[in-house]
Amino acid sequence: MKIALKTFLVITLLSSICNAQSVTRPSVWGIAKMTYLVSDYQVAKDYYGNFLGFDEAFKYNSELGEVIAFKVNDRQFLEFIVDKEAKQKSRLVSVSLETDDVEQMRAYLKGKNIEVPEKVSLDGAGNTVILIHDPSGNPIEFISFNPKSPHLKSKGKFLSDHRISKRIHHAGLYCKEIIDNDPFYVNVLGFKEIWRYPEDPQQKVMIHYLQIPDCA
């Protein structure tokens, strides 16, 4: 396998102390789900279901096709959409970050000159969402789970004792360039640096670990 060295950003879920000062940004609680294109659903099911041990929880429709959801825990999911041309496309559909007020997030981002949709929308599962792209083009979704969605209605179910992990701890994203005080993740979303590689601040950073501001 040929491996190319690329600048890499890692968003890590760690506890943080809430800022006591008033902010206009709504809370960002953590990674809610990660959605990918797959060319062969059976291969994905064999790997994520049979091998890694996650339960297939439910399906729902989306603009890209039927979504098949595997459950990590009651608030985190791995989701897949079958696309026969997936090998020729970017497989990542979105990294979804949970927030308590999607409309407030939309308005907040717009005030920071981030391109956002004109209004929030409901996804195929009935959750409130907006989809934006970070400066490197990575698709970032902000989501608020609604009580009638299959995500929340599955609470306490589909939690295999054989699953390899009970939590999505981080998501890795490729970036065009990483700089100190990243203008989007740090300055706009309030993420905090917890580690970098190389550790020497005089060297150009290649991997950046950032902490989501409000997750527990």
Q: Looking at per-residue confidence, does 107 or 177 come out higher?
A: 107
Query: Among the CATH numbers 3.40.50.620, 2.30.30.90, 3.10.180.10, 3.30.1240.10, which is that of 8-211?
Result: 3.10.180.10
Q: Which residue blocks in 112-196 are alpha helix, DSSP H?
A: 150-153
Q: How far apart are CA 191 and CA 199, in angstroms?
A: 18
41: number of CA atoms within 13 Å, CB side?
A: 13
pLDDT in tens, 87-134: 898 999 999 999 999 999 999 999 999 999 999 999 999 999 999 999
Residue spans per domain, the chain? 8-211
Band (pLDDT 50/70/90 cuts) for residue 21 is very low
pTM for the whole thing? 0.87
pLDDT in tens, 136-176: 999 999 999 999 999 999 999 999 999 999 999 999 999 88
What was the pLDDT predicted at 24? 86
3-state secondary structure of 48: helix
